[in-house]
Each structure stands twice: as C-alpha cells, then as structure tokens.
Structure 1
Amino acid sequence: MASRFCLLLVVVLFAIAESAPKIPKLGGWSEWKNADINVNAICKKLQPEVQKKLGENFSRFEALTYQTQVVAGLNYKIKVYAGVNQLVIMQVYKNLKQVYSLTYVTVIPLPNANF
C-alpha cells in the first residue's frame, strides 16, 4: 500500500513540475522571442554605432527576434533585418543605470531573403 502511495505521489509531483512555467537558468539565455517596440527602440538608438563599426549604411534596421540574459544588468542578443538581404547580429548590454552599450556586432548576408 505504501509503495503505491509513493508511486502515485511521484507521478503527481512529476506532472506538477512539467506543467510549471519554464524559468531560464540563472545566467542562461532566454528563449528567442519576437522583437517588440522596446527592442526596436534599442536597435534604432544603437544603429549609428553599428553602421560606424561595420562601415555600412543600412536601408532598413528592424529587429526580428531577441534573447535576454540576466547578469549584473541585462544582455540582449538581437537579430536585425538590415535590408538588401542582410542580417545584423548584435549583442547589447544594459547596465543597472539603464545605459545601453554595444558589445558585439556582425553582419551576415542572406541570399534571396524576403522579409
């Protein structure tokens, strides 16, 4: 009887654990999410710096998706459509004073991409 109760308890606890919302591991990256107005504002703010670092002027600069990582502040990985079949990958750090800084950027050509 006790073993059946223990088995039932394990099954119930497992079901509860599986249905709980998934919280990213401390220091880990979140799932990719669709970009929102706030993420696009970050991109627009940093667009001049991105263009200067890459030596290019982009016809468009629209965030597509992003991830976040909680550190002593917040890191963002953002995929940005930059027009003419180009994808910019940028990493941005927001410190505790809410100041944004570009920490990494690269451009990837996208052959025949239609956005």
Structure 2
Amino acid sequence: MGGGGGSGFRFSSRATGRHGSATATEGAEATDVPRGISEQKPVTPEIQSIANAVKIDVEKQLKRTFDVFVVVAYRTQVVAGTNYSFKIHGGKDEYLHVNVYEKLPHEGSVRSVTSATDGHSLDDAF
C-alpha cells in the first residue's frame, strides 16, 4: 500500500525489527503494524458504535445531518493510539470518508474526528 494510498493518514517511516520486518505492538491485532495501514476489515458492531459516537462531530464538520450513517468499510492505523478510516453510507448513493483518532486507554480513549468529506461513491478509494 506504500505511503498512505490516499487514506488521509500520513506517516514518515515504518517500525521495523532487527531484520527489517514489521513488528506488531502489544494489544494490537495480528494484522496491525505500527504506523502501517491495515487492509480493509469487516465491520463489527464495535466499529459502528465508534462511528455513531462521532456522528454529531462529523455533521458539524460537514454542516449537514445524516439520517443514514452506516459504516460499510474501514481500515486502521496503529500509532500512539489508533487512527480509523471509515467509509460510511450517508444515504441514497452518497458515501462519506471519515478519519477518527482514538487516544490510548491510559489517556482516556478520547476520540476525535480528524477529517470528514462527503460526496463520495461506494467505489471511491478511501
């Protein structure tokens, strides 16, 4: 996937082990690599609840409301916390791209919307 692939995440280097292989952080999923962006993952109720928790912030940022707000795809990036990149169905044929940062649990697991864009289609890369 290289240098971010248009996901909205920026990072300067990949964490590597002694032999140049990626290393996982404690507590991260096996497919999560520090600073690496995961492959697209199946949406779970927990992921939908994260999106629901920031819906009002997304609506404020985009200056509009959404009757439909369903995550259809997501990726993660493990940093000093977790970046979530969501593709959200916003109603009819419109999709949103929303990035959320979640602090580490010892920092309160606070979530904040780092970017939100509307006007996307289902087929748009995120």
- What is the identity percentage for the equivalent residue pairs of Structure 1 and Structure 2? 31
Normalized per residue, the structure richer in helix is: 1
Superposition TM-score, scaled by structure 1 size: 0.71
Q: How does 1:10-89 map to 2 (within 5 A)?
A: 23-89=31-97
Structure 1 portions without partners, runs of 5+: 1-21
2:103 aligned with 1:103: no
> How many corresponding residue pairs?
90
Runs of at least 4 residues of structure 1 off by over 2 A? 22-26, 108-111
CA contact (8 A) 1:59 1:84 kept: no
Amino acid at match of 1:28: G
Structure 2 portions without partners, runs of 5+: 1-29
Q: Distance in 2 between matches of 1:110 and 1:72?
A: 31
CA contact (8 A) 2:88 2:95 kept: yes
- Cα root mean square deviation, aligned: 1.7
Q: Distance in 2 between matches of 1:102 and 1:29?
A: 17
Secondary structure class of the residue paired with 1:39: helix
Give the deviation of 1:109 after TM superposition. Answer: 4.0
Q: Distance in 2 between matches of 1:109 and 1:69?
A: 22
Q: Distance in 2 between matches of 1:57 and 1:109?
A: 16
Secondary structure class of the residue paired with 1:60: coil
CA contact (8 A) 1:63 1:80 kept: yes
Q: Distance in 1 between matches of 2:40 and 2:67?
A: 25
Question: Which one of the candidate residues 75, 91, 94 is aligned to 2:99?
Answer: 91
